[in-house]
């Protein structure tokens, strides 16, 4: 058994928690579940699988609940997961080696998030800091809590061989209820702490959940104006989310200003692809083709397919709109079994 305790907080998660805990069982981690006021079967299910189940009186502070959960662990190394995150892959031997080498750093899991694009289901992957030694780190922030060092220094990070699938399904009414609650907490956090790139980013994310892209773009822009570290994962997500908001709002001229950040973010296929989308919307097709082509040279990306079939599909679409049908066919074929590309090839063959 690895000396790692999995610490979870839960409230009314009986539609997720059983699958989450069942997938953890083969790893033989200690599992701690802290319930914050469930009225469904969450606690009953937790008792069936977890080593310890505790109750915590909810106080509108996620960090307080998280820190309570890690205090209940038998091990100093704690892994934080949510009830709607299901283990997909793990290498326990490599995980043990990684913790031995990185006693004061934060381990970054891979989380795969499903989403739909052009009617096709896809996956966006992200790295999130979830494994740490409680002697050196804890949580801060009443909402969208972050792992911070106890001495106030910026924590180093290391990658760990753990991948989770984020189910994350919430009904529309549930989504709005959660977003409304989160908005209140985020604005309170902003009032307490003052301007913060991270809080502005989370406010932007929250307004996306509320389908208010105007407000989302405003907060993303405020966050980026504070010149946060472009190497930070949330800043990379913020600049790309901002760009997609502007595209959805048809504010293409404003989106073109992201050219000024090209040198900061051009190491990411996701940003290169975003710039291709902006150039395509502006009708600058040669630059769009160049950026999409560049995206395909990357081996890694966050949004599935943007370094392969999605980029090639957009190049094909541009060539088709330009009347270059042979070139279009070539790039549609590069998309493999991507449904929209297969459909276009059939339609071109029939025309």
* Residue 129 near residue 147, CB atoms below 8 Å: yes
CA distances (Å), origin 253, targets 111, 164, 258, 270, 279: 33, 38, 10, 20, 10
pLDDT score for 124: 85
* Residue 269 near residue 306, CB atoms below 8 Å: yes
What are the tens digits of pLDDT across the range 76-116? Answer: 999 999 999 999 999 999 999 999 999 899 999 999 988 76
pLDDT score for 169: 61
pTM: 0.80
pLDDT score for 254: 97
Cα(295)–Cα(240) distance, rounded to whole angstroms?
14
**Ranges in the chain, pLDDT < 70:** 116-120, 169-174
DSSP for 167-191 reads -----HHHHHHHHHHHHHHHHHHHH
Cα(340)–Cα(325) distance, rounded to whole angstroms?
16
Nearest to 5 by CA among 26, 30, 33: 30
* Residue 238 near residue 201, CB atoms below 8 Å: yes
pLDDT score for 117: 57
What are the tens digits of pLDDT across the range 306-351? Answer: 999 999 999 999 999 999 999 999 999 999 999 999 999 999 999 8
% of residues, the chain, pLDDT over 70 = 97
């Amino acid at each position: 058994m690895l000396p790692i305790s999995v610490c979870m907080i839960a409230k009314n998660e009986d539609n997720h928690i059983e699958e989450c805990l069942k997938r953890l069982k083969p790893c033989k981690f200690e599992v701690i579940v802290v319930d914050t006021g469930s009225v469904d079967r969450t606690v009953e299910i937790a008792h069936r699988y977890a080593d310890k189940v505790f109750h915590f009186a909810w106080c509108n502070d996620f960090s307080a609940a998280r820190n309570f959960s890690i205090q209940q662990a038998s091990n100093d190394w704690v892994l934080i997961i949510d009830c709607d995150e299901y283990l997909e892959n793990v290498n326990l031997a490599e995980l043990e080696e990684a913790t031995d080498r990185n006693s004061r750093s934060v381990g970054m899991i891979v989380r795969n998030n499903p989403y739909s694009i052009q009617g096709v289901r896809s996956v966006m992957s992200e790295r999130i800091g979830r494994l740490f030694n409680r002697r050196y780190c804890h949580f801060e922030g009443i909402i969208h809590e972050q792992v911070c060092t106890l001495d106030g220094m910026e924590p180093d990070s290391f990658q760990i061989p753990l991948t989770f699938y984020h189910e994350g399904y919430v009904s529309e009414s549930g989504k709005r209820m959660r977003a409304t609650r989160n908005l209140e907490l985020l604005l309170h956090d902003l009032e307490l702490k003052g301007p913060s790139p991270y809080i502005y980013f989370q406010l932007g994310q929250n307004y996306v959940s509320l389908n208010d892209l105007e407000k989302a773009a405003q907060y993303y822009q405020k966050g980026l104006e504070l010149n946060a570290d472009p190497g930070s994962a949330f800043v990379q997500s913020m600049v790309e989310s901002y760009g997609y908001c502007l595209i959805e709002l048809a504010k293409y001229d404003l989106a073109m200003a992201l050219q000024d950040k090209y040198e900061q973010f051009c190491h990411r296929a996701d940003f290169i692809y975003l710039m291709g989308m902006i150039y395509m919307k502006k009708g600058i097709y040669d630059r769009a083709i160049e950026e999409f082509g560049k995206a395909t040279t990357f081996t890694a990306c966050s949004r599935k397919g943007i370094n392969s079939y999605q980029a090639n599909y957009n190049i094909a679409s541009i060539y088709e709109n330009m009347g270059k049908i042979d070139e279009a066919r070539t790039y549609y074929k590069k998309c493999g079994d991507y449904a929209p590309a297969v459909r276009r090839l059939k339609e071109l063959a029939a025309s």
